[in-house]
Amino acid sequence: MATAAVPPGSFHLPRSGDPRSQGLLSSALHLPLRAATALLAPGSGEGLLGLLPGWLRNLLPGWDCDRDMPDMFGKVVMVTGANSGLGFQTARLLARNNAHVVMVVRDVDKGKKAVSDILSEFSHAKLSLMQADMGSLRSVKRLADDFLASSSPLHVLINNAGMLAPGPFETTEDGFETTHAINYYGPLYLTLLLLPRLRACAPSRVVNMASMGEVFGTIHWNDLRGVDMGSSGMKAYGASKLYTIMASRDLNRRLRGTGVDVFAVHPGIASTPGEVKSDKSYAMAVMAFVASRLHGQSELRGALPSLFAATDTSLQGRGGLYIGPNPLGLQLFGWGGWNTVARSPMSWEARDAVECKKLYDATRGVLDGAAVAAGLGSVPVTHFRDAQEEAAAREQGAEALRKGGKGGLPLEAASPTPTAMAQ
């Protein structure tokens, strides 16, 4: 599916405009209108950051996708929900920087249009289109099987697809509340199915889309499928995003030594199609829509945390981080330096390693039961105990040397228990 090719000779990153190209008087006269547009029409692109001349933007500290995003030539990146919103911007900029982007969409026609739009802007873009409904385990399994059958490498998996207040309460064919299925269980299943390929291509990464909505989530230990909630509103959305952060942290712990890093990210308040399509019978959907239009940032700025987590070389070996804008979502300037910072989750459960492990074990068991019931077989154990044992041995040896010893402790004395590792 993805084969290396010579980078196009015409490839270059866009450069910010020269301030000398505009008269100072003209700029001053247009400033009030441009400021109002940036504040009231966040989807237009840059937010207030667009008011700054290019030379000044380049002086800002922090991460800028035009200035700092590396060339991704030779890398294969899968992005779910890639035909619109944050997913489209993520796929678009990865393709701009020479990645081979596998765009996973639910609606093939919309996916084809997204591919055409990217190619019209970047003729060198290398894109593949695949179809899957992230709310269906059978569809996710077919996607993984088709991708693995292609023998394509995979260096980054970005689980971007998600739903906010999708409509009246419903359950999926696999017995999950719809929001839980699309936002959490589908992405987790896809990740576990593709982990062997990710490890084979290490160093590699998994980027999971979370949300500030995790603060409204609680762990429903007796209803991890969400079927007893009776609503697909904030309760379901908050729980699904809380589970995403917690599982990302624990899966990263289990994958130490494999070269696979797992990150959770959140976009802050961003103006995307998700708020437009959400069911406005839910109060939270109305509030999200209004907030995103009044002071949300653009889709492009909202995609920065995903792009940073997927590409920045400084993050290698630093999996387990939660990356995104400040907790209050104050991103009027859209500055990447605010959007690409490691944050602490607001929910205490997501900060507790023991709770994260407990949640991961419980939901993975639920997922396994659903997969078996659907005739898809057990979810594969892909946490690579051999790599974990090698990493533990290295850590033990290094610790012994720091203490003046001549060798490490016996591996069994410090290794995680079997149930804490691969099950």
Answer whether residue 41 is part of any domain. no
Answer whether residue 119 is part of any domain. yes
Answer whether residue 67 is part of any domain. no
Tell me: do 260 and 395 sit in the same domain: no
* Cα Rg, the chain, nearest whole Å: 22
CATH assignment of the domain containing 283 = 3.40.50.720
Which of 342, 368, 394 marks a domain boundary?
368
Angle at 195 between CA 419 and CA 423, to 5 degrees: 10
Tokens of 161: 């697809």
Tokens of 57: 């933007």
Structural domain span for residue 327 = 76-368
Bridge partner list, 159? 208
Tell me: do 344 and 298 sit in the same domain: yes
Tell me: do 174 and 249 sit in the same domain: yes
Tell me: do 142 and 208 sit in the same domain: yes
Answer whether residue 98 is part of any domain. yes
For residues 27-38, one letter each, b for 16 or more C-beta atoms within 10 angstroms of the residue's C-beta and e for the rest, the string is eeeeeeeeeeeb
Tell me: do 397 and 264 sit in the same domain: no
Answer whether residue 87 is part of any domain. yes
Alpha-carbon distance of 111 to 397, in angstroms, equals: 50
Catalytic site positions: 237
Tell me: do 343 and 199 sit in the same domain: yes
Tell me: do 192 and 298 sit in the same domain: yes
Alpha-carbon distance of 390 to 360, in angstroms, equals: 23
Answer whether residue 221 is part of any domain. yes
Tell me: do 81 and 146 sit in the same domain: yes
Tell me: do 311 and 395 sit in the same domain: no
Bridge partner list, 318? none
Tell me: do 293 and 423 sit in the same domain: no
Tell me: do 260 and 222 sit in the same domain: yes
Answer whether residue 62 is part of any domain. no
Answer whether residue 29 is part of any domain. no
Residues 6+ apart with CB under 8 A from 225: 171, 175, 176, 177, 180, 366, 370
Q: How many domains does the chain have?
A: 2
Tell me: do 241 and 270 sit in the same domain: yes
Q: In tens digits, what is the pLDDT along the chain, a chain of 423 residues? A: 544 333 433 333 444 444 444 455 666 666 676 656 555 554 444 455 556 666 766 666 668 888 899 999 999 999 999 999 899 999 999 999 999 999 999 999 999 999 999 999 999 999 999 999 999 999 999 999 999 999 999 999 999 998 875 667 889 999 999 999 999 999 999 999 999 999 999 999 999 999 877 888 899 999 999 999 887 777 888 999 999 999 999 999 999 999 999 999 998 766 665 555 554 454 555 565 555 555 567 778 888 999 999 999 999 999 999 998 865 544 444 444 567 888 899 899 999 999 999 999 999 999 999 999 999 999 987 677 777 777 778 778 877 787 765 444 343 333 333 333 333
For residues 363-383, one letter each, b for 16 or more C-beta atoms within 10 angstroms of the residue's C-beta and e for the rest, the string is bbebbbebbeeeebeebeebb
